[in-house]
Amino acid sequence: MSKPRVAVYKMSSCAGCQLEILNLEPILLDLLGTVELSYFVMARRENEPGPYDIGLVEGAITCGEEIERLKKARQECHLLVALGSCACYGGLPSIKNWQPQRVVESRVYDNLAAIHSTTAYGIDYYVPVDAYLKGCPVSREELLDFIKSTLLGVRPYLRPHSVCVECKLHENVCLFVTDGAICLGPVTTAGCGALCPSRGKPCDGCRGPANDANTVSLAQTMVSYGLHHSDIARYFRKFAGMTPEFSKGAEAV
């Protein structure tokens, strides 16, 4: 029986989520015993053409060339997975969406004639997506669980609740209540193991909105902590500002 063929695509991103695949060092050889990484430009000199069983897409879509590559990836792959916050929501590249396009481009490039950038979106703005692996970068454990579940033909357990739940399970002191630190944990999807709060750093919301996230209430709490509207908007727009839930938070006050 042939092994499932996996393709890894890169769009506009820092490549950190692809690197997390290679960072599975202790079990990487075991993983390669169960799947074939057929297309992975970061890791292979020569890549094989599709079709593929699983396609992992890292990065936001920010130009026409990426739209065409994404549509081709969708045609090539049986399952298409958004890998990381950029592919899920637009991620950090989507910060530019709230400023005039040419103003943003002029801060980076001298010659704008060759630039054909567009509004940054997650990949499901253009093609259907079968699963979302969130985070900046993506959680290695969640990525591995997803691959194992797919190989076993069972539904992967992707957590719907908030980071606060994981924080409580780790018996962390609440940075928001105790230290007055602005934390997006109450409205952010769990699955990272409360990685940042467990190390004394408030949650930045890189995994996007949890189910039933009350971002309006959180924004009002931020006001009571003395934050200006522009600061609150930046908190919600840092990683997932294009989602309806975080947009409500950014515009609530």
pLDDT confidence bin for 164, thresholds 50/70/90: very high
Q: What is the pLDDT of residue 27?
A: 84
Residues 162-199, buried b or exposed e (16+ Cβ, 10 A)? bbbebbeeeebeebbeeeeebbbbbbbbbbbbbbbbee
Share of the chain above pLDDT 90, in %: 77
Weakest-pLDDT range from 12-16, 130-134, 153-157, 177-181: 153-157
pLDDT tens-place string over residues 228-252: 999 999 999 999 999 999 999 999 9
Tallying the residues shown for the chain, one arrives at 253
pLDDT confidence bin for 155, thresholds 50/70/90: confident
pLDDT tens-place string over residues 111-143: 888 888 999 999 999 999 999 999 999 999 899
> How much is the average pLDDT of 36-40?
94
pLDDT at 93 over 90: yes
User: Which of 41, 48, 32 lies closest to 10 in space, CA to CA?
Assistant: 41
Angle at 193 between CA 187 and CA 199, to 5 degrees: 95
Q: Give domain limits for the chain.
A: 5-152, 163-252
Tokens 């991103």 locate to: 13
DSSP-H helix ranges across the chain: 16-22, 25-32, 64-76, 85-89, 101-108, 140-152, 163-169, 175-179, 215-224, 229-237, 244-250
What average pLDDT does the structure give for the chain? 93
**Which residues are paired to 80 by β-bridges?**
55
Architecture of the domain spanning 5-152: 3-Layer(aba) Sandwich (3.40)
Burial bucket for residue 128 (CB in 10 Å: 0-12, 13-18, 19+): exposed
